[in-house]
Chains A and B, each alone.
Chain A
Amino acid sequence: MDISSVEPAGLNQPPVELGSDSFAGLYQTHNREIYYLALRLLGDPHKAEDATHDVFLKAYRKQNDFRGDSSWRTWLYRIAINHCSNLRQSWHNRNVIPNSEDSVWENTAARADSPLRVLETKELGQRIQQTLDQLSEEYRLLLLLVADEELSYEEIAALTDQSADAVRGKLHRARKAFAVFFQKTSG
């Protein structure tokens, strides 16, 4: 079964079950998004590799828990978010994230709204990671989720346990914060 073409079951349809071939298709379809999320949340490629493996293994073992009331990707994202969050809480080496007041971003509206011009260098990924590390965990997660064009605001809201309007408002501030910090990484 080609899992990439399978639509999630609706409320009145039986949940889709995965065989081993379909699980392979599930991995093939969604591995990049899950790995990238883990990479940017954890900031370490080795940790991201372990986390991605653990997320998909959990999905394989818990596939019967999938009710079909969300997409496969959203379900995988939920597992990944919880997994990475648990990892970070267990490390005891969190970066101190300054809880900047909103007025800081309001004063930098002009710069934050301008396009991001960057040199396409191999250091771009490092700059992005440095920038994300400066943000609160919530802002970081929201930006990473909204970057996935397959996720709607409603799905992001469900993943982060808040309303879509709250997501929109926080994303507005998160984008500004990212732009400000990103410009500082250019040296």
Chain B
Amino acid sequence: MKQEKKFAPSEQQHASDVRSQQSTEREFASVEELLRYDAEQTIVPAEIAQRLQRSTARFSPPAARPWWKRLFGGANL
């Protein structure tokens, strides 16, 4: 049976410190690419959806546009 090498507590802490300090270097070809990456890392607060649900519940849905406005895009006849 293999003997698994176990880290001593001090070794475990050192390994953890090294991992937390290491950062990955990335290269972005453009400002847009950098911003897109930043946007992907951004988490939208879930509270917004909850607030919206409460807010929209206070308002009745907007009245449907008359059929002739929907058909002709609201042009004056």
Interface residues of A (CB under 8 A from B): 11, 14-15, 17, 19-20, 23, 27, 31-33, 35-36, 39-40, 45, 49, 52-53, 56-57, 60-64, 67-68, 115-121, 124-125, 128, 143-144, 146-147, 149, 174-175, 178-179, 182
Contacts of A124 in B (CB 8 A): 38, 41
Give bound CA distance, A179 to B33, whole Å: 12
Which residue of B23, B52, B61, B62 is within 8 Å of A27 (Cβ)?
Answer: B52
Partner of B59, one of A40, A61, A115: A61
Please name the 7 residue pairs, one residue from A and one from B, whose CB atoms are nearest each other, closest first. Answer: A147-B35, A14-B70, A119-B23, A116-B28, A120-B24, A36-B39, A147-B32
Residue B65 CB within 8 A of the other chain: yes
Interface status of B4 (Cβ within 8 A of chain A): no
Interface extent on B, as a size class?
Answer: 35 or more
Q: Is the interface of A mostly helix, strand, loop or mixed?
A: helix
Question: When the two chains form their complex, are residues A31 and B35 in contact, meaning their CB atoms are under 8 A apart?
Answer: no
Given contacts A32-B42, A49-B48, list 16 more A-B pairs with CB under 8 A: A17-B64, A20-B61, A27-B52, A31-B44, A35-B42, A35-B44, A35-B48, A49-B45, A60-B62, A117-B26, A117-B28, A120-B25, A124-B41, A128-B34, A143-B31, A175-B31
Give the chain B neighbours of A15 by CB distance below 8 A. 65, 70, 73
**B48 / chain A contacts, CB cutoff of 8 Å:** 31, 35, 49, 52-53, 56
- Which residues of chain B come closer than 8 Å to A19, judged between CB atoms? 61
B77 at the interface (CB under 8 A from A): no
